Amino acid sequence: MTYANLNTRFSQTFALTTPIALAPMALASGGALAAACAQAGALGLVGGGYGDLLWTQREYQLAQTLLDGHTHRLGCGFITWKLDEDASALDWVLTQAPRAIMLSFGDPRPYAPRIAQAGALLICQVQRLEQVAQAVEAGAAVIVAQGAEAGGHGMNAQLGRGTLALVPEIADWLAAHAPATQLLAAGGVADGRGLAAALMLGADGALIGSRLWATQESLAAPGAKAQAIQTNGDGTARSEVFDILRRKNWPAPYDFRAIRNALHRHWEHRLEVLKAHPEVARLDYEQGVAQADFNRAHATVGEAVGLIHDVPAAAQLLATISAQAQARLGAFNAI
C-alpha cells in the first residue's frame, strides 16, 4: 500500500512504502524480523550488534533467503566501539552488497571508506548535537537522533536528550550545514502518532526498536515479551546494572535501559558494591536467564513499553503504524 503523506526523502532513497527502519537490536533483530520489515516496505537492519561473525552470517543469510534475492531494503547495524576490537562481521556483511550499514556508539570515520567502497549507505546514530558533525564528516547519508527514552543502550541520564527537543534541533543543524543528510527519529516511537510526530519535528522517518522487538519474528524471549505487555512506561530504568551482570564493558557515557525488574531494583542504588563484587549477582542473573525468569533476566525495552499491548506479526504492525500516521497527517493537512 502507498501512503502519500509518508513519501519522504528516506522512503524514496531506500524505495520504501513507509519511512521506517528497524532498529538493529543485538540478538533481537534477526534475519526473520529484518526480512519481514523489508517485505512490508520498511528498511530491515539485522542486529549485528557486538560483531559476532557466526551469528551475523547466520541471521543475515536467513534474511537473504527469506527475501529471495530482493535485498534492496536489507542492511545491518553494528556497535562501533566493538568494531574497533574486531571488524570481521562488518567486513563479511560488506561482501553481501548491503543497502545500508548503521553504526552506533563510537567514531564511524575509520569504517566509512570501506562502507562507501562496498556501495552501502552509511547510517550513523547520535545522542547529542555535538556528535552530528563527526557523523557528517564520515559521510553519513542518514543521521539517527536517539532520545534517552529508547530501550537498550543509549546516552546516560546525565547527558541524554529527549527525542522531542533533540530531533528538531538536529534537523535545524542539518538544514544549515548538511541539507542533503537525512534524519530519523528514535526513542519512544511505537505507533502512528509517534511516526507522524517525528515527521512534524523535521525528521525524514523513524527508527523503531521496542515496538518491533515485541513482534512474532523478533528473537526476544517470549517471557520478556509477555512481561513487556504487562509493563507501563513508568516501568523502565536506565543504568549500568544489566551491563555489569552480563559482563558488557560499555564505555562511558553509555548505559542501558530495560524493564526495572526485581533484580534491577535490588542493585540500582548499590552500583559500586555490584561492580566490586559481581559474582553472586551474576549467578543470580544467569539462573534467571536459564529459567526464563524475568524478575531476574532482563527485557530490553524503552519508555514506549507502555504502548505495547500485543505481539503481532511485523508486517501487521508496520501497516497499522503507517495507516495511523497517514491518517494523523492527513487530518492535520486538512485543517
- In whole angstroms, give the CA distance from residue 317 to residue 302: 18
Residue 43's alpha-carbon distances to 13, 34, 224, in angstroms, are 11, 8, 25
Q: Which residues pair with 126 in a beta bridge?
A: 145
Do the Cβ atoms of 123 and 140 come closer than 8 Å?
yes
**Helix residue ranges per DSSP H, 183-313:** 192-200, 210-213, 222-229, 241-245, 262-267, 271-276, 279-290
Do the Cβ atoms of 264 and 286 come closer than 8 Å?
no
For the chain, the average pLDDT equals: 97
Rounded to 5°, the CA angle 306-160-156 comes to: 90
DSSP conformation class of 151: S
Taking Cα atoms as reference points, which of 95, 52, 102, 114 lies closest to residue 75?
A: 102
Q: Can you read off the three cell numbers belonging to residue 61? A: 543469510
| β-sheet with 100-104: strand ranges across | 20-22, 205-208, 182-186, 142-146, 121-126, 100-104, 74-79, 44-49
Q: Can you read off the three cell numbers belonging to residue 285? A: 542473573
Going residue by residue through the chain, which has 335 residues, state the pLDDT in tens, using 9 for 90 and above: 667 889 999 999 999 999 999 999 999 999 999 999 999 999 999 999 899 999 999 999 999 999 998 999 999 999 999 999 999 999 999 999 999 999 999 999 999 999 999 999 999 999 999 999 999 999 999 999 999 999 999 999 999 999 999 999 999 999 999 999 999 999 999 999 999 999 999 999 999 999 999 999 999 999 999 999 999 999 999 999 999 999 999 999 999 999 999 999 999 999 999 999 999 999 999 999 999 999 999 999 999 999 999 999 999 999 999 999 999 998 877 66
Q: Which residues pair with 33 in a beta bridge?
A: none
- In whole angstroms, give the CA distance from residue 191 to residue 179: 27
Go through the domains of the chain in sequence order and give each one's CATH number. Answer: 4-220+309-334 (3.20.20.70), 231-290 (no CATH)
User: What is the rounded end-to-end Cα distance, in angstroms, of the chain?
Assistant: 25
Q: Which residues pair with 49 in a beta bridge?
A: 78
- Neighbouring C-beta atoms of residue 270, cutoff 10 Å: 12
Taking Cα atoms as reference points, which of 222, 188, 178 lies closest to residue 208?
A: 188
> Which residue shows C-alpha cell 520504501?
16
The 10s digit of each residue's pLDDT in 258-303 is 999 999 999 999 999 999 999 999 999 999 999 999 999 999 999 9
- In whole angstroms, give the CA distance from residue 314 to residue 28: 13
Rounded to 5°, the CA angle 11-75-215 comes to: 80
pTM: 0.96
| Rg of the chain on CA atoms, in Å | 19
